[in-house]
Amino acid sequence: MTSLASGQRVSKTCSRIEAYGTIDELNAQTGLLITYCKDDNDRTNLAHIQNMLFEIGGHLATEPSPERPVTTCSIAGSDLQEIEQQIDAITAQLPQLRSFILPGGCRAAAICHVCRTICRRAERCMLNLTKENTIIEPSALAYINRLSDYFFVLSRKLNLDGKQPEVCWTPASIPSAQ
């Protein structure tokens, strides 16, 4: 058993713990990613993202109560616009995508892909909570959804900055039917 922010005791395997634990894991991996980023702007953006993730984790760790039936999260529309602008700005620097990209390249890009996949899992965990009638702030869900795309384009930028070729998927040949 463990305690939520409200003090309520729950199983360590409950969906709420899984959701905010996954956000915490993403935050930790983002911290690791920062240590490999050379660009000051990337580090600043990622540090801001860590703060947003902490806000979302706090939101998920707070069980509504009769006194406070809905918990709020400070993720605002401006935060969503900011991440969209960052995605657009990075995408404008990148060559056109002509293939599926496999995780890899430089170390920072590979870690960025780990962040992307953890972010996708966090989104699935949050959506599972909504199936249990848990109210999750829509802006938090939207932020996590867009954040995974941010990590994808950032991984491509990090490889470009590091002069590392992208690792493109090569489909296996499919045997012809006889």
- pLDDT given for residue 116 in this prediction: 98
What is the H or E stretch that residue 153 is in?
helix 138-161
46 vs 173, more confident = 46
Nearest to 8 by CA among 55, 54, 66: 66
- Ranges 14-23, 64-73, 143-152, most confident: 143-152
User: ∠ CA(120), CA(65), CA(131), 5° rounding?
Assistant: 35
Rounded CA-CA distance 143/140 in Å is 5
Residue 20 has pLDDT above 90, yes or no: yes
Residue 75 has pLDDT above 70, yes or no: yes
pTM for this model (two decimals) = 0.90
Instruction: Please check whether residue 53 is in contact with residue 31, taking contact to mean a CB–CB distance below 8 angstroms.
Output: no
Is residue 98 scored above 90 in pLDDT? no
